[in-house]
Structure 1
Amino acid sequence: MNRLDSESGATLVGDYGSGLRRTEIHQLSDGAFRWTQRAGAVCPAPLTAPDPALACAIRACSVTGARWVPATTSELSPGVLTYLTNSPLSAVDWLDFDQPCTRQILATALENAGRALQALHQVGAPDSVAAPPGPRRIACWLDEADSSLGNLARLAELAWPRWGRARLSCLRDWCIMPRRDTVLVHGFASLGTLLPPLVAPGSEFLIGADLAVGRPESDLGWLLGELHELRWVGIHQGVDFPALGQALLRGYGPGCHEAALGRNAVLRIVAHLHDFAAYAGWTKEFTRYIDFAAELIDDEGRRAVEGSVI
C-alpha cells in the first residue's frame, strides 16, 4: 500500500472508496497525515467544503478529547476535500485491534464524540445547508426517481415486495426533514470519520463533505445504526457495541428523543443497503440485509438503540 508521491514527498498509506467517494491518506514529511476525499465515478454531486466562517464556528465546537477537523479545499482543486490529522486510522480500523486497551480507547473516543456533537448542535444552521444526504438518497430511491438505474432497480425488485407498502411508507415518512427544530449536523457521522488518538492526545472528527441541517438525533441515530449493524454482522466478536453506544449517548447528555434515534438508526442501515447497490456492486447478502431491515422497520429501530439509551 505504501507508495511515495514524488511530487509532494508524501507517502500513500491508505486508498479506498466506491463510486460515491474516494479517500486517500498520505503521511507527510513532518509525520502528520493528509486525508483527501474526491467524488467517485458516479457521485450525484460534487464535494464541497464549508465556507471559512462556518468552518471556524465548527472548529470552535471542539471539546477536550475531541477536535473537529473541517474539510478544506483550494481554487486549484475545488472538488477535492482535504483534512490534516494526527492519525491514518479511523475507529473502523481500531475495531480490528483485539486488545483490552483498544476497547477503552474506542469507548472514550465515542464518549468524546458525543460531547463534540452536542457542541456542534448548538451552532446556528445556515439557510444554504441542505438536509442530510443519506435520507435524501433513500427518498429519491423510494420515489422511484433512480430505482430504474442498474442495481437499484434489482434492489427495488427484491426489497419492495418483502417490505410491503406499510414499511415503505414508514421509511419515506422518516426521510422527511422539516426545517423546524433543526440544527447544524454532521450529516453522515460514522466510525469512518472518527479518528481515535494515535500519538497526539484526543480524537479527531472529520466533517464537511456531508454537512447538513437536521434533528440532533440524525447524527446520533446514524452512529447507533452503524454500531447495531456491525454487531449483527458479527465479525468483531469481542466488541461490546451496546457499550459503545452508551458511551456516545453518555457524552452527548440528556434530551434525545428515543423514537427519533431508532428511526434514524434504521435509515442508516437502509442507506448502507442503497449505497452499496448504487456505488459498490451486487452481493448475495442483500436478501439477509433486507430481512434484517424489515425487522428494524417494524419496531422503529428500538432494538438498534436498546442497551444504548441511558
Structure 2
Amino acid sequence: MTTASAPEVLSSFGTGLQHTRVLALPDGGIGWEHTPGPDNPDPRRSVQPGFVGRAREASDTYTSFAVPCDGADGRWLWRTTGRRSAAQLLLSADDLDGRLEPVFRRLGERLKALHAVSSHDDRPGDYPRPAGAARLMAWLDGGGGPRAATGWRQLLRMRLGARRWEELRELTHGVLHPAPGAPVTVVHGWLGLGMIVIADSVESTPGAVVLSGPHATWSSPETDLACTVGELLELTLTAERLGDPQPMFGRLRDALLAGYGPGWDQESVATGAVVRIVTHAHDFGAYVGWSPDIHHYVPMIADLIDSRGAAALPPR
C-alpha cells in the first residue's frame, strides 16, 4: 500500500487574518493554500455554486478565475501555474520582462466578462456583503479589534476630525450599499494584487490565475475595479513618499481599465479605491500590529478623503 506524498512548502506567510502557503504538489503542479488566521472574523466562507459557473464562463486560456480544487473548514487550495503573485512581483520591482501590462489588460477584459455573465440564477441573498468594507465599517463604528486596532482607530479619528471621519463612513457605506438603481452583479469581491498569481513561465497557460470564489459578493462592478486600482494607488503614493516614483503602477492601472472598456463609473471607482486603502490600513493594524509606518497613512487618507480619491483615476 502506498501513501500519497505531502506537498513541498515553497513559501509560507501570513497575518492574523489569513495564512498562505505556496506548495509544490505531488503531480508537479503549484498550489496556493489559504487558511483563516486566528483573528479572522469570518473564517468559514463558502463558494457559491453559481459563482463556479460564472468563473468558468468568464475565464479563457490566458486568464483563469480559478475556484478552489479542495477546501474544508475555511481552508482553500487552488491549482495555479506560478509561485508569485502580482503583489510580490511589484514589491520586488520584477516586471517579468514586461509581462505585467498585458496580464492586467487581459484581466480587465475577463473581469468585464465575469460581470456580464447572466446565465445563472443565483440571487443577491446567496452572497455576503463585501467582506473588506464590512470589516472597515465595523471598525469605524466603534469596534476595537486585535493588536493595534483600537489604538490605530483612536489616532486616525483624532487626526482626521469629525467631518472626514463621517465622510469616510459614507464612502464605506456606498461600497456596502450601492445606490438605488445602480448596476449590481456578482463580483470577485476581493480582487487584490495578492490574488493574481502570475505564471512562472511565459509558455505556461493560463498566464494568470486569479484566486477566486470565497470572497465573491453581490455588488457594483466598480467594487472589483476599485480594489485593484486602490492597491496600485497605495503603492504609487508610498513610492512617491519614499522618493522613488514607480510609473509602472499607473501603467498597470491604465491597462486594467483599458481592458475593461467603457461603462464604469469613475466616482465609484475613485471612492472605492479610498475604501480599499483604508481597509488595508485597518487590516495592518489589526492583523499585523503596530508599525511607525502607520503614521504615514494619516495624511494619505486625509488627502484621499478630501479629493474623493481623484488620484486613483487616469489623468484627463
Query: What is the TM-score with the length of structure 1 in the denominator?
Result: 0.89
Asked if 1 retains the 8 angstrom alpha-carbon contact of 2:48 and 2:213, the reply is: no
Partner of 1:95: helix, strand, or coil? helix
Hey, what does 2:159 align to over in structure 1?
Answer: 162
Gaps of 5+ in 1: 1-5
Letter in 2 for 1:133: A
Structure 2 residue 307 is the aligned partner of structure 1 residue 299: yes
Counterpart-to-counterpart distance in 1, 2:41 and 2:129: 15
**Are 2:147 and 2:288, in contact at CA under 8 Å, matched by a contact in 1?**
no
Specify the code of the residue in structure 1 equivalent to 2:260: Y
Alignment deviations for residues 201-248 of structure 1 (CA, whole Å, 9 cap, x no partner)? 321111123111111111111111101111122277555211110000
Q: Which moved more, 1:177-186 or 1:83-92?
A: 177-186
CA distance in 2: counterparts of 1:148 and 1:65, whole angstroms = 40
Letter in 1 for 2:177: P
**Mapping of 1:204-243 within 5 angstroms?**
204-234=209-239, 238-243=246-251
Alpha-carbon deviation of 1:8? 2.9
2:137 counterpart residue number: 139
- CA offset at residue 117 of structure 1? 1.2
* CA 69–149 in structure 1, closer or farther in 2 if over 3 Å, else same: closer
What letter is aligned with 1:19?
G
Please tell me the root mean square deviation across aligned C-alpha atoms, in Å. Answer: 2.2
8 Å Cα contact 1:94/1:106 also seen in 2: no
The one-letter amino acid of 1:107's match is E
The CA deviation at 1:303 is: 1.0
CA shift, 1:40, in A, is 0.2
CA distance in 1, matches of 2:36, 2:263: 36
- Aligned residue in 1 for 2:112: 118
Name the SS of the counterpart of 2:58 in structure 1: coil
Matched with 2:79 is: 84
How many Å apart are 1:31 and its aligned residue?
2.1
1:188 matched to 2:190: yes
Q: Is the 8 A contact 1:105 1:196 kept in 2?
A: no
Q: 3-state DSSP class of the match of 2:211?
A: strand
Shift of 1:130: 1.5
1:95·1:239 contact (CA, 8 Å) conserved in 2? no
Which stretch shows the higher mean deviation, 101-110 or 13-22?
A: 101-110
C-alpha distance in 2 between matches for 1:9 and 1:156: 42
SS in structure 2 at match of 1:130: coil
Percent identical pairs in the alignment equals 29
For the residues of structure 2 that align with 1:207 and 1:286, how far apart are their CA atoms? 29
Q: What residue in structure 2 maps to residue 278 of structure 1?
A: 286
Structure with more relative contact order (C-alpha pairs < 8 Å, separation 6 or more): 2
Work out the CA distance in 2 between the residues paired with 1:88 and 1:167.
Answer: 40
Partner of 2:33, secondary structure, is strand
Q: 1:42–1:245: structure 2 CA closer, same or farther, 3 Å change rule?
A: same
> 1:160, CA displacement in angstroms?
0.5
Deviations 1:23-61 (A, max 9, x none): 111111332111111110111112333134431221211
Is residue 191–residue 228 contact of structure 2 (8 Å, CA) maintained in 1? yes
Name the residue aligned to 1:3.
none
**Compared with structure 1, are the counterparts of its residues 291 and 103 closer, same or farther at alpha carbon in structure 2 (3 Å cutoff)?**
farther
Asked if 2 retains the 8 angstrom alpha-carbon contact of 1:48 and 1:81, the reply is no
The structure-2 alpha-carbon separation of the partners of 1:29 and 1:64, relative to structure 1 and needing over 3 Å to count, comes to closer
Instruction: Report how many residues are paired.
Output: 299
SS state at 1:282 partner:
coil
| Structure 1 stretch displaced more, 239-248 or 51-60 | 51-60
Aligned to 1:93: 88
Letter in 2 for 1:206: L
- The change in CA–CA distance for 1:246 and 1:24 in structure 2 (over 3 A counts) is same
Residues 239-254 of structure 1: pairs in structure 2 closer than 5 A: 239-254=247-262
Q: Is the 8 A contact 1:86 1:198 kept in 2?
A: yes
